[in-house]
Each structure stands twice: as structure tokens, then as C-alpha cells.
């Protein structure tokens, strides 16, 4: 490393926070799935926004591209170096500030974990609108940068909907500050909205002002075994109409349940197996259990229906769904696809995708689960070589042909950029490239994520 770059980085990060020893870099160089891995030139861990700005400015001057990284829970290779870029870790920006318990707003540094923020606001009667299984490691900055979804989108929307202000470092080291944020603000382009979901390619998110949701202490969770996804979706329609405060509507299937039982040591939830499992959660100020039980009464088989109200019982039911990701990972290195379908096509998609994979890649094992209420299924594929993209290709082409999107919540990263043109038009991609060129002309922020600056050869649709 050039001595001047080293001294500027050391001044920005402080002693012990510029890591170039391979052992110290290792945990920043491989993603959670273990599918994406690459050597970093170094890892810079600045303590605050000024430090981030100084790192970005120095790296830009010396032509070192940067990969911003939060809790490293991404699943699409978007926060892992690919060609010797440096990792810019935001984890030390972990301050929670300016909590307004009257308005229900808070400012979180990019490195605050979701769980730390939940634990901070909940005793005051507030909660974070987004929740996800990796809450102990996922950071608020990464969740905004990827527009994370999770299990409450059906009620509160994804991360972008929670953001009312943002502070971010631009590619030239300038600090863009839209803090503290206003609930209504139509004074020009919505920059926080643009940066949410930009996957670290336009700016480095350093602080975020979030609107909170009222904590809803009265909760009820139901887990149901059903004969098909179509039956689960039909029951969900009834729950939506009749049960107040639906917060989550999740599905999984026997292949995922078997992995969860085996790797997490959980007992079967019901005396006999079912083709599809639906988990719903309702929450409000008053006990939602009676209305939820009434909504389920006519449709659910009493031997395949569990209702939980107390926290430990609810957690016990949620474990069947939340532990899918770790159980799949314990079985092998999956290809992870994360797709949305128009609501009316979701039921067809489940059977079509299994048939398509059986035909095109008979050696792979698909594991499906996801957020039924959002039309979002996670298609995990076990048994495929890490570099064999043919099963991914088969699934994503099917999604495109049914009018869906190739990414519902995990983003494009590097894993899916080959297929971006299947569901985004040439005009869309051209506009995104123009924004990237305007904000990061030297291409130092997360190069090669979402798309390459020079158009790659296209996949014919």
C-alpha cells in the first residue's frame, strides 16, 4: 500500500482498525452462505462519519475501489470483495441517538444491529417496522442499503418505508445529510429513497433516521398444515379479511421442515405431514387470538392447527420458519434465489418451479419457503456446483415469464446481475447506469454490483 494512503487511512480509522493481516481480514472476505468469497486489499474500520468520508476520499484519490460492509449477512455477494477491493466496514458506527419517544423516531448509526435497536426502543413502547431472522448481526446501514424486507412487510413495508432521513458519504468524500428528516418532504428528489436499495453503489450510508411503529404487545401466532400452497393462500385471504392486525404470513414445505427438524432438533409440529405449512401472526393493542381462531375455524383441520399466545409458545412456532436459513446452510452451500410473483401466479409458480428444476437440473434439491403475503418465495437450491448457474437460470426465466421480479428483498449483488435484463427494461437499466455515473464517476463504490458500468453481453429473454 502507498505510504501516504496508509497514513491517511490510519488517521481516519485509528490504531488497530486498518486490517491487512490475512487472518484479521478473513471474516470480512466470505459471505454468510460461504458461496461468495474474495481477498480484500485491506479492511478499514472508521469510527464515525468523518472517518468514513476520509477513507472514501483517500481511496478515491489512490484509485482503490471500496466494498461497504455492515453485518455481512447479505446473501447475494454484494458486500464481499471480488477483485482485491478494500472492505469499508461500518460496524463501529454503532450509536443510537436523538430518540424522540413522542413522535416515535430515532437515529441509528449504520453499524447498529437491528436487535440492539429493537432492545433500545421496545421498553419505550415503540418498535422497528422491519424484523428478520438475522437481527442479531444485520446492521441498520446494510438493511437500508439493501432495502431489507423480512417478515413484517405485509403490514409495515420494507426498510425504505421506515426511512425518513439519511446521512451518507458520496464517492468524492462529501457528506450528504438529510437528517433529522421530516415525515412529509417534497422538496426535490427523494435521496433517502434512492439510496435505500442501491446496494452501496451510489453512496455509503452512515446514519439513518427511522420512523418507528407502536409496539403491539398482544400477539397471536397460528401454524397450520394444509394440502397445498393454493389452500394456504385461500386461507390467508380469509385471515386478511377477518383477523385484525395481520403482521406476518409465511409459508414452508415438507423438504424445509425436514431440514429444520433434523438440524435444529425440533419435533414434528403435527401428528402427520402436510404438503404446505402456513404461519400467520396478528398483533394489536387487544388480544387478537379470538379473532384469529375464528378466521381459521372453518378452514383449518383441528389436527393440523396450533395457536400460540405466550412469547415462548410463539417463538416455538416461529422457529419452524425462522430456522430454515441455518438448516439449509448446515446441509450444504445453497444457491439462493429470492423472487416475487404477482399474487395470482404464486400458487402456479411453486409447482412449475419444482417441475422445471426436475427437468433441467434433476440432481438439485429445491427448498422453498418465504413470505406468502408478499408474493415472495425463497428458492434455495442444494446440490448445485457453486459455479453452475443453470438451475438459477431456469428459475429466473420462469419468474420473468410469469411477470415476477428476480429479487424481492435480497437485492441483485453479483449473484443475479446476469439476469437483471430479464425483469428490468433497457430504459430502466440505462437510467440506473446514468445515476451511477453521475454520483460515482470513477466507479469506486461497490463496482460490479447490480450491473457493470459498461453494458455486459445481454441474456436473451
Instruction: List residues binding ligand 2HG (CB under 6 A).
Output: 133, 325, 336, 378, 380, 409
Closest CB 30 distance from ligand 2HG, rounded Å: 16
Closest CB 132 distance from ligand 2HG, rounded Å: 6
Closest CB 32 distance from ligand 2HG, rounded Å: 9
| C-beta closer to ligand 2HG: residue 72 or 380 | 380
CA separation for the pair 192, 144 (Å, rounded): 9
Closest CB 20 distance from ligand 2HG, rounded Å: 32
Kindly list the distances between the CA atom of residue 165 and the CA atoms of 83, 150, 180, 322, 438, in Å, as whole numbers in the listed order: 33, 21, 6, 30, 22
Closest CB 85 distance from ligand 2HG, rounded Å: 25
| C-beta closer to ligand 2HG: residue 218 or 382 | 382
Give the list of residues 6+ apart from residue 366 with CB closer than 8 angstroms, or none.
255, 353, 354, 357, 379, 380, 381, 382
CA separation for the pair 295, 369 (Å, rounded): 23
| C-beta closer to ligand 2HG: residue 220 or 337 | 337
Q: What is the largest CA-CA distance in the chain?
A: 73
Total number of residues shown for the chain? 461
Closest CB 447 distance from ligand 2HG, rounded Å: 25
Instruction: Judge contact between 127 and 158, C-beta under 8 A.
Output: no
Instruction: Judge contact between 353 and 346, C-beta under 8 A.
Output: no
Q: Which of 309, 305, 306, 307 is nearest to 284 (CA)?
A: 309
| C-beta closer to ligand 2HG: residue 135 or 209 | 135
CA separation for the pair 3, 426 (Å, rounded): 44
| C-beta closer to ligand 2HG: residue 49 or 407 | 407
- Closest residue to ligand 2HG using C-beta atoms: 325
Q: Which of 392, 399, 381, 425 is nearest to 345 (CA)?
A: 399
Q: In this structure, what DSSP letter does residue 30 have?
A: B
| C-beta closer to ligand 2HG: residue 32 or 126 | 32
- With H, G, I as helix, E, B as strand and everything else as coil, classify residue 10: helix
| C-beta closer to ligand 2HG: residue 162 or 325 | 325
CA separation for the pair 74, 51 (Å, rounded): 24
Instruction: Judge contact between 79 and 142, C-beta under 8 A.
Output: yes
Crossing angle of helices 289-297/229-242, nearest 10°?
130
Closest CB 415 distance from ligand 2HG, rounded Å: 11
- Report long-range pairs for 361-364 (Cβ below 8 Å, ≥24 apart): 361/390, 361/391, 361/394, 364/391
Instruction: Judge contact between 299 and 234, C-beta under 8 A.
Output: yes
| C-beta closer to ligand 2HG: residue 8 or 323 | 323
Closest CB 409 distance from ligand 2HG, rounded Å: 6
Closest CB 77 distance from ligand 2HG, rounded Å: 14
| C-beta closer to ligand 2HG: residue 45 or 336 | 336
| C-beta closer to ligand 2HG: residue 165 or 411 | 411
Q: Which of 174, 161, 145 is nearest to 56 (CA)?
A: 174
Q: Distance from CA of residue 90 to its chain's centroid?
A: 17
| C-beta closer to ligand 2HG: residue 155 or 378 | 378
Closest CB 364 distance from ligand 2HG, rounded Å: 15
Instruction: Judge contact between 279 and 250, C-beta under 8 A.
Output: yes
- 65: which 3 cell numbers? 475501489
Closest CB 325 distance from ligand 2HG, rounded Å: 3
| C-beta closer to ligand 2HG: residue 36 or 126 | 36
Angle among Cα 115, 149, 333 to the nearest 5 degrees reads 85
CA separation for the pair 123, 18 (Å, rounded): 37
- With H, G, I as helix, E, B as strand and everything else as coil, classify residue 318: helix
Amino acid at each position: 500500500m502507498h505510504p501516504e494512503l496508509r497514513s491517511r487511512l490510519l488517521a481516519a480509522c485509528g490504531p488497530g482498525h486498518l486490517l491487512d493481516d490475512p487472518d484479521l481480514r478473513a471474516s470480512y472476505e466470505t459471505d454468510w452462505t460461504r458461496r461468495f468469497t474474495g481477498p480484500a486489499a485491506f479492511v478499514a474500520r472508521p469510527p464515525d462519519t468523518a472517518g468514513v468520508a476520509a477513507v472514501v476520499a483517500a481511496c478515491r484519490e489512490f484509485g482503490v475501489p471500496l466494498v461497504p460492509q455492515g453485518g455481512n449477512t447479505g446473501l447475494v455477494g454484494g458486500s464481499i470483495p471480488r477483485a482485491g477491493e478494500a472492505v469499508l466496514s461500518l460496524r463501529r458506527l454503532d450509536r443510537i441517538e436523538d430518540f424522540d419517544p413522542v413522535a416515535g423516531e430515532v437515529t441509528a448509526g449504520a453499524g447498529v444491529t437491528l436487535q440492539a435497536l429493537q432492545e433500545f426502543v421496545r421498553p419505550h413502547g415503540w418498535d422497528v417496522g422491519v424484523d428478520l431472522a438475522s437481527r442479531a448481526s444485520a446492521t441498520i446501514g446494510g438493511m437500508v442499503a439493501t432495502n431489507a424486507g423480512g417478515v413484517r412487510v405485509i403490514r409495515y413495508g420494507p426498510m425504505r418505508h421506515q426511512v425518513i432521513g439519511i446521512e451518507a458519504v458520496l464517492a468524492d468524500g462529501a457528506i450528504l445529510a438529510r437528517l433529522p428528516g421530516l415525515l412529509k418532504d417534497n422538496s426535490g428528489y427523494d435521496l433517502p429513497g434512492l439510496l435505500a436499495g442501491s446496494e452501496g453503489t451510489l453512496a455509503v450510508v452512515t446514519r439513518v433516521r427511522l420512523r418507528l411503529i407502536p409496539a403491539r404487545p398482544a400477539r397471536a401466532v397460528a401454524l397450520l398444515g394444509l394440502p397445498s400452497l393454493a389452500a394456504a393462500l385461500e386461507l390467508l385471504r380469509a385471515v386478511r379479511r377477518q383477523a385484525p392486525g395481520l403482521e406476518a404470513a409465511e409459508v414452508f414445505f415438507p423438504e424445509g421442515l425436514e431440514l429444520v427438524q433434523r438440524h435444529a432438533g425440533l419435533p414434528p409440529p403435527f401428528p402427520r405431514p402436510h404438503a404446505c405449512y402456513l404461519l400467520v401472526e396478528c398483533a394489536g393493542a387487544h388480544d387478537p387470538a379470538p379473532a384469529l381462531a375464528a378466521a381459521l375455524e372453518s378452514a383449518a383441520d383441528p389436527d393440523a392447527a396450533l395457536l400460540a399466545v405466550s412469547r415462548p409458545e410463539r417463538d416455538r412456532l416461529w422457529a419452524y420458519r425462522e430456522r430454515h436459513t441455518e438448516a439449509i446452510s448446515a446441509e450444504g452451500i445453497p444457491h439462493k434465489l429470492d423472487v416475487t410473483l404477482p399474487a395470482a401466479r404464486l400458487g402456479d409458480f411453486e409447482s412449475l418451479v419444482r417441475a422445471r428444476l426436475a427437468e433441467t437440473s434433476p440432481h438439485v434439491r429445491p427448498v422453498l419457503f418465504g413470505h406468502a403475503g408478499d408474493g415472495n418465495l425463497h428458492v434455495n437450491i442444494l446440490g448445485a456446483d457453486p459455479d453452475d448457474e443453470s438451475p438459477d437460470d431456469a428459475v429466473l426465466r420462469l419468474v420473468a415469464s410469469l411477470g415476477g421480479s428476480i429479487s424481492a428483498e435480497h437485492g441483485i449483488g453479483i449473484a443475479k446481475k446476469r439476469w437483471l435484463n430479464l425483469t428490468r427494461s433497457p430504459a430502466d437499466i440505462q437510467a440506473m447506469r446514468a445515476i451511477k455515473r453521475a454520483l460515482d464517476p470513477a466507479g469506486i463504490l461497490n463496482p460490479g454490483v447490480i450491473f457493470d458500468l459498461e453494458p455486459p453481453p445481454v441474456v436473451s429473454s
